[in-house]
Amino acid sequence: MILDGQKVAIHMAGELDKRIKILKDGGIIPGLAIVLGGSSRPAAMYGAFLKKKAESYGISATVIKKPDSVTEGELIEVIRSLNDNHAIHGILLLMPLPEGISSDNVVEAMDPYKDIDGLTAANRGRLAAGKPGFVPCTPRAVMAILEEYGIAVNGKKAVVLGRSNVVGLPVSLLLLQKHATVTICHSHTGDIAEISRTADILVSAVGKPGMVTADMVKRGAVVIDVGICRQNGKTVGDVETKEVAEKSSYITPVPGGVGAVTTSMMIQALVEAAEKRKNGGSHNE
């Protein structure tokens, strides 16, 4: 069965519209700032797409674009001025940044209450500690898909391929919080197939087309493909979808799977940031 990300996104849209209306009725228009450091074409396209998506919800969205020659200090200044700007509730810093710039340093300049993609150490620490905070949008999209389709996580064996701060690690923590038994594989893992074949839920977040083949998947497993890669002019994921679909019980397509939900999660996080500010700025522990 195909796990349809568009369906999840449509389901979320109704609830988001209601929350945005309540904010607007209270005089608050959620404001999103998308920061592009450098001339990466995919990042620019993604930024434009996010702006359009935000505006389709009646959200004010600004793209701040800096040339390849931008310095780390200048980018940090951009982030600090957005921290001080009351019309901005959420900041998204798109990667990659120009060579020589430490993305960590730029990310850490962000006010954690505006860090809607959960990249700052403050928000990552809160996730690890099981406290409320902003969690990266893609891992939340994975969890939303599982929930929408009523797929049980409690007590299941989950294997995650990839351990990045933006996908692999946070999705592993979210699965763990839902009581899955989680194994994380990465580029230093020996026999990945041996481990992935034990998974009831297999999440691949590597970024390598053809990474997951049918022999790596247990019959009846749920397969979530987070990868987004370009191959022969097409967008594909990590998973050999056709052959794996014949063995799995559920599978996400690429495109139309996790990616379709990620953007809705970003809007949801922005709305949450605006609601938190309205309620005094805390994470309501």
Q: Which residues bind ligand NAP (CB under 6 A)?
A: 138, 161-164, 166-168, 185-189, 192, 205-208, 226-229, 258-259, 262
Closest to 271 in 3D by CA, of 92, 21, 78, 94: 21
Q: Give 254's DSSP letter.
A: S
Least CB distance to ligand NAP at residue 114 (A):
20
Residue, CB closest to ligand NAP: 207
**Min separation Cβ 58 and ligand NAP, Å:** 23
What is the side-by-side strand order in the sheet with 250-251? Answer: 181-185, 157-161, 201-204, 222-225, 250-251
Task: Using the minimum distance from each CB to ligand NAP, give the nearer residue, 192 or 221.
Answer: 192
What contacts 280, CB < 8 A, 6 or more positions away? none
Residue 186: which region, alpha, beta or left (left: phi > 0; alpha: psi -120 to 50)?
A: beta
Specify the residue, 33 or 171, whose C-beta has the smaller distance to ligand NAP. 171
> Which one, 23 or 136, has the nearer CB to ligand NAP?
136
Residue where the block lists tokens 């993305």: 103
Residue 214 to residues 206, 238, 245, Cα–Cα distance (Å): 17, 12, 8
Q: Nearer to ligand NAP by C-beta: 23 or 253?
A: 253
Beta strand extents in 114-190 (DSSP E only): 157-161, 181-185
For the bound state, the minimum distance from the C-beta of residue 202 to ligand NAP, rounded and expressed in Å, comes to 12
Q: Which is nearer to ligand NAP, 56 or 81 (CB)?
A: 56
Closest separation between CB of residue 25 and ligand NAP, Å?
31
Cβ at position 275, least distance to ligand NAP in Å: 23
